[in-house]
Structure 1
Amino acid sequence: MTNVVLILADDLGFSDLGCYGGEIDTPHLDRLGREGVRMSAFYNTARCSPSRASLLTGRHPHETGVGILNDDQRPWGYPGSLDPAVPTVAERFREAGYATCLSGKWHLSAQTEVPDETWPTRRGFDEFHGILGGAGDYFHPRALYTGEERQPIPGDGYYFTDAVGRHAADFVARQAGAGTPFFLYLAFTAPHWPLHAPAEDVRRYEGRYDEGWDTLRQRRFERLAAEGLVGGDAVLSPRDAGEPAWVDTEHQEWQARRMSVYAAQVTAMDRAVGHVLSTVEEAGVADDTLVVFLSDNGASAEDLPPFDAPKFRERQPSHTVDGAPMRIGNEPDIAPGAADTFASYGRAWANLSNTPFRLYKRWVHEGGIATPVLVSWPAGALANGTVVDTPHQLTDVLPTLLDAAGLAAPAGPGTSMLPEWRGDPGHGEHTLFWEHIGNAAVRRGRWKIVRETSGPWELYDLVADRAEQHDLAAGRPALVAELATAWQRWADEVGVISWETIRAH
């Protein structure tokens, strides 16, 4: 039987990995991508919880109860918990005799204190080690669980990314040793804020970001083109209009430090992935193990404290474990990285992470929804060393994993990607849909319409203009109307709740 390892990064930008043009050290993921299959046009759903809901169920997030985040907004909004009536991929694998494990972040339960039917241990996972909420302290997580038992706050020497990697590797070793097929969902919080990383990981990036975001965006774009991950007609979107040129930026040393810590978080994640992959190889099951890596949304431009998160202060620690005040925010006098800081890396660096696209997490322009995808399966007859350009989205993951395992997929919107991964045309063109906090989009073939909240529809030819620089809506009104009608029909079918209704409360 085919083992499955599904790896999810949190807030990783399209071009952060080395094999997607980045200057961050990611040797294990780079080997996975270059020796396997990469995808250039795969999409998530723009935000943490909805992406996880769609990834694990093969449904659009609105159908699962998780339309925005894990807040219960009823009666006027979404429940914020994964609907028990919608089966997860873990439940389907467990029914087929697989051992199942989640190591990392859940973020699909509104109730995070008292176990209920929405917890991972009751949604198909035999084992769970990690956090139920959206983010937290990497060095001393306050709400760490093993199974349904809350753990003591870890002491010095602990780092969440390393810990969930070790737990995942231990699970693999135990199941492979017992001859049991396994499904591992390794869901990192890295590189989501706060900017926390071991000092030795940060030191390796000293000086690397001194040239600034403008130079580095251009270099990433050139490497993306060389890797075959953007078309020959592609252009680099201009720097975010709200951010200064690097030469005009104040506090450059502090700014470079912010990106250095972010990069260190990505490298730590790569190290943890490497630990799991080496365990798979040492156990002698690498040939029969399908590994898929992707990100839950584009890079995050969120400031700290977030302007639209009234519960942020009550959910994040105000003091360190030894009682010192937590230094929260993005100020030049707060050098991020250490356990007493709580910071993010800012819009300009997120713009770098999303090269060559514009906009970020929460938006459904390319910068918010485009994700790297790496696939490895030595015995799977994949077209190794190739890049798949066919557009797909998260609803296609569950049927693909079940297809690889020889299991029947339930009826749903998704299609298996195995044909494309094997070098075949696959199922042909299918229409992709998005909605998140009023941001909406449709992609059909080369054409994409997209809008921000209640703004007008924009139209882009993504084959010629993946960076969404030339709005063609005025010249193609019939096409815009056709796709907009399709979007509204889809929104009605999946239960999209009007953002205006939710925002009014």
Structure 2
Amino acid sequence: MTARPHIVIILADDLGFSDIAPFGGEIDTPHLTRLSDRGIRMSSYYVTPRCSPSRAALMTGQNPHSVGIGVLTTDNRPHGYPGSLSTEVPTIAECLSGRGYACGLFGKWHLSSDIENPGETWPTRRGFDEFHGILQGSSGYFRPRLMDGEERVDEQELPEDFHLTDHVTQRAVDFIRRQGEAEVPFLAMLTYTAPHWPLHAREQEIAKYRERYAEGWDGMRQRRLDGLHREGLYSEIHDVAAGQDLPEWGEHARWESERMAVYAAQVEAMDRGIGAVLDSLEETGVAEDTLVLFFSDNGGCAEELPTDNPHFPRTTEPRTTRAGDPVRFGNDPAIMPGPADTFQSYGVNWATVSNTPFRKWKSWVHEGGISTPFLASWPAGGIPAGGAVSPDLGHVTDILPTVLEIVGADPIGAGRSLLDSWRHPEATGPERTLCWEHIGNAAVRRGGWKLVREWGSPWELYDLTTDRIEAHDLAQQHPELVAELEQIYARWCEEQGVIDWQDVLDDHAQRGLGPGRATS
């Protein structure tokens, strides 16, 4: 095994489980198919249900509550989480820079509570030699609050046809070419904001999808399910998630189809960028000895953006376009999404389609919120080509331990190495236990059993070996197992420093901060 392969980690933002072609989706993603064909897929790879916690786990290999990120990046001390990534644990970049790696991050950071004043939690102070992107959780694609290192980028320096997805791709490609030609091992993290809201894409990229979604969501989930079967994923699932019936198609049909068309264009723009990254690896001659990983930070996002909320959007979002036109915020069906003067999301019904065949969405810990497509490729490292599907259980905390095993460093983090699973996708590893908590939503999975609840609701119990879509609640039939798994979850919360969500809500109410369910 090569001791110092190059490493490229590509993270999508709010991507649904079945949005991409290798996982049954109808959106054109030929380069993700190309990556899949060069490696393997994982059918049971988990993240956390929100942007910042998944990034914290990816960066440190630790469960996010224990490293300061229990919800998002608001500093809620002394009664809540700091909202910044703890400096007491090393990041993946700090681990690798100490072994001679050049480290670059291109895209979204979202791990610092203070994004105005450079500090110890900014990426350039957490092991990254280069950073180019946004510090906050979301941004318009045509006029973002863009940073280069610790300096704000003057938007007058940006081209007229600027789009954030294309821009961070180019910066990552430039980094890869420079390091590859210098024969320096590198870590390139390309953390896209796509396809996180707002819905922003160029007209010519939206147009190709208008007819594709003109018939609406009727039957779309079934086509996604057929695609999952075609791709060798979940052949035993013949239905979609229970209790998530989509409304009749018709009202605001043109606007609804346009929302999904723009979303699809955003996903395709990301895929185009991934193609440029793969091309740069091949042209630099390092493709064989580069580990490339792709996954999302959480499931599809069901948030509907308000038109009349004085707290939305945040003050960091410009109120005008670069041309000086006012931005029209919120999901108003009278306004078609896509252009720079709009700011919309695709909503709960399309998010339900995106997460086919699973229940719920981003922020929940049912399968739709925490399951992501996952691709891994490393030809020189023994990962077989062909797109085989590994059924092994993976988690975002596994990335750092895996990378450390590859480079010969001592393991750290809460996860385990997935290298054997990637090299032998037909095999499954030992039984493991995973836990989740986010804004009171809670889950524990041990082997095939999963105990899960939505905040304020009773525990539900599912046998995921036969019911991955969480359709048949077995809690009443197995009360002893419910109690046993609940105890495991309670111990995990104590070990990880999880703050009871009711305590968070009470603190917010006392301070007049509202419910605390920030969006991003």
- Shorter chain as normaliser: what TM range? over 0.9
Deviation string for 1:373-420 (max 9, x for gaps)? 00111111113331011112111111112222332222x321000111
Indicate conservation of the 8 Å contact 1:162/1:268, yes or no.
Answer: yes
Deviation string for 1:444-477 (max 9, x for gaps)? 1111000011321100011111111110000011
Which residue of 1 is the match for residue 255 of structure 2? 254
Give the distance between the partners of 1:108 and 1:309, measured in 2 at CA: 25
Which residue of 2 is the match for residue 363 of structure 1? 364
Indicate conservation of the 8 Å contact 2:13/2:196, yes or no.
Answer: yes
Give the distance between the partners of 2:151 and 2:112, measured in 1 at CA: 16
Indicate conservation of the 8 Å contact 2:307/2:331, yes or no.
Answer: no
Indicate conservation of the 8 Å contact 1:38/1:374, yes or no.
Answer: yes
Give the distance between the partners of 2:244 and 2:58, measured in 1 at CA: 30
Which residue of 2 is the match for residue 220 of structure 1? 224
Indicate conservation of the 8 Å contact 2:42/2:374, yes or no.
Answer: yes
Aligned length: 500
Which residue of 2 is the match for residue 461 of structure 1? 463
Distance change >3 Å, CA 467–CA 85, structure 1 → 2: same
Q: Which amino acid aligns with 2:324?
A: G
Give the distance between the partners of 2:326 and 2:67, measured in 1 at CA: 39
Distance change >3 Å, CA 233–CA 160, structure 1 → 2: closer
- 1:343-358 to 2 correspondence within 5 Å? 343-358=344-359
Q: Secondary structure, in 3 states, of the residue corresponding to 2:274?
A: helix
Indicate conservation of the 8 Å contact 1:231/1:463, yes or no.
Answer: no
Give the distance between the partners of 1:397 and 1:305, measured in 2 at CA: 36
Alignment partner of 1:111 is 2:137: no
Q: Secondary structure, in 3 states, of the residue corresponding to 1:460?
A: strand
Which residue of 2 is the match for residue 24 of structure 1? 27
Give the distance between the partners of 2:487 and 2:309, measured in 1 at CA: 31
Indicate conservation of the 8 Å contact 1:12/1:298, yes or no.
Answer: yes
Q: Which amino acid aligns with 1:364?
A: V
Indicate conservation of the 8 Å contact 1:449/1:457, yes or no.
Answer: yes
Which residue of 1 is the match for residue 81 of structure 2? 78
Greater CA drift, 302-311 or 148-157? 302-311
What is the Cα deviation at residue 156 of structure 1?
Answer: 1.8
Q: Which amino acid aligns with 1:208?
A: R
Indicate conservation of the 8 Å contact 1:9/1:189, yes or no.
Answer: yes
Give the distance between the partners of 2:43 and 2:469, measured in 1 at CA: 13
Q: Which amino acid aligns with 1:404?
A: I
The partner residue of 2:44 within 31, 41, 44 is 41
Distance change >3 Å, CA 308–CA 108, structure 1 → 2: farther
Distance change >3 Å, CA 340–CA 155, structure 1 → 2: farther
Which residue of 1 is the match for residue 514 of structure 2? none
The partner residue of 2:234 within 230, 233, 247 is 230
Q: Secondary structure, in 3 states, of the residue corresponding to 1:390?
A: strand
Q: Secondary structure, in 3 states, of the residue corresponding to 2:461?
A: strand
Give the distance between the partners of 2:203 and 2:143, measured in 1 at CA: 15
What is the Cα deviation at residue 203 of structure 1?
Answer: 1.4
Which residue of 2 is the match for residue 292 of structure 1? 293
Distance change >3 Å, CA 183–CA 306, structure 1 → 2: farther
The partner residue of 1:471 within 470, 473, 478 is 473
What is the Cα deviation at residue 253 of structure 1?
Answer: 1.3
- 1:148-227 to 2 correspondence within 5 Å? 148-153=150-155, 154-227=158-231
Indicate conservation of the 8 Å contact 1:7/1:185, yes or no.
Answer: yes
Deviation string for 1:53-101 (max 9, x for gaps)? 0011000000110111011011111000001111100100100000000
What is the Cα deviation at residue 208 of structure 1?
Answer: 0.4
Indicate conservation of the 8 Å contact 1:234/1:465, yes or no.
Answer: no
Distance change >3 Å, CA 456–CA 306, structure 1 → 2: farther
TM-score, normalising length from structure 1?
0.96
Q: Which amino acid aligns with 2:270?
A: M
Q: Secondary structure, in 3 states, of the residue corresponding to 1:83?
A: coil
Which residue of 2 is the match for residue 280 of structure 1? 281
What is the Cα deviation at residue 35 of structure 1?
Answer: 3.0
The partner residue of 1:10 within 8, 13, 16 is 13
Give the distance between the partners of 2:495 and 2:428, measured in 1 at CA: 26
Q: Secondary structure, in 3 states, of the residue corresponding to 1:475?
A: coil
Indicate conservation of the 8 Å contact 1:225/1:231, yes or no.
Answer: yes
Indicate conservation of the 8 Å contact 1:361/1:368, yes or no.
Answer: yes
Indicate conservation of the 8 Å contact 2:434/2:444, yes or no.
Answer: yes
Alignment partner of 1:317 is 2:318: yes
Which residue of 1 is the match for residue 490 of structure 2? 488
Give the distance between the partners of 1:329 and 1:372, measured in 2 at CA: 29
Q: Which amino acid aligns with 2:411?
A: A
Greater CA drift, 180-189 or 420-429? 420-429
Give the distance between the partners of 1:480 and 1:486, measured in 2 at CA: 10
Q: Which amino acid aligns with 2:284?
A: A
What is the Cα deviation at residue 216 of structure 1?
Answer: 1.2
Give the distance between the partners of 2:210 and 2:392, measured in 1 at CA: 38
Greater CA drift, 304-313 or 182-191? 304-313
Indicate conservation of the 8 Å contact 1:239/1:351, yes or no.
Answer: no
Give the distance between the partners of 1:40 and 1:421, measured in 2 at CA: 12
The partner residue of 1:244 within 244, 247, 261 is 247
Q: Secondary structure, in 3 states, of the residue corresponding to 1:315?
A: coil
Alignment partner of 1:384 is 2:402: no
Indicate conservation of the 8 Å contact 2:242/2:469, yes or no.
Answer: no
Q: Secondary structure, in 3 states, of the residue corresponding to 2:372?
A: strand
Alignment partner of 1:66 is 2:66: no
Deviation string for 1:7-52 (max 9, x for gaps)? 0000000000011010000000111113310000011100000000
The partner residue of 2:434 within 432, 435, 442 is 432
TM-score, normalising length from structure 2?
0.94
Give the distance between the partners of 1:429 and 1:481, measured in 2 at CA: 19
Give the distance between the partners of 1:296 and 1:481, measured in 2 at CA: 30
Q: Which amino acid aligns with 1:269?
A: M
Give the distance between the partners of 1:306 and 1:218, measured in 2 at CA: 32
Give the distance between the partners of 1:417 and 1:307, measured in 2 at CA: 46
5+ residue gaps, structure 1, are none
Which residue of 1 is the match for residue 135 of structure 2? 132
Give the distance between the partners of 2:113 and 2:211, measured in 1 at CA: 42
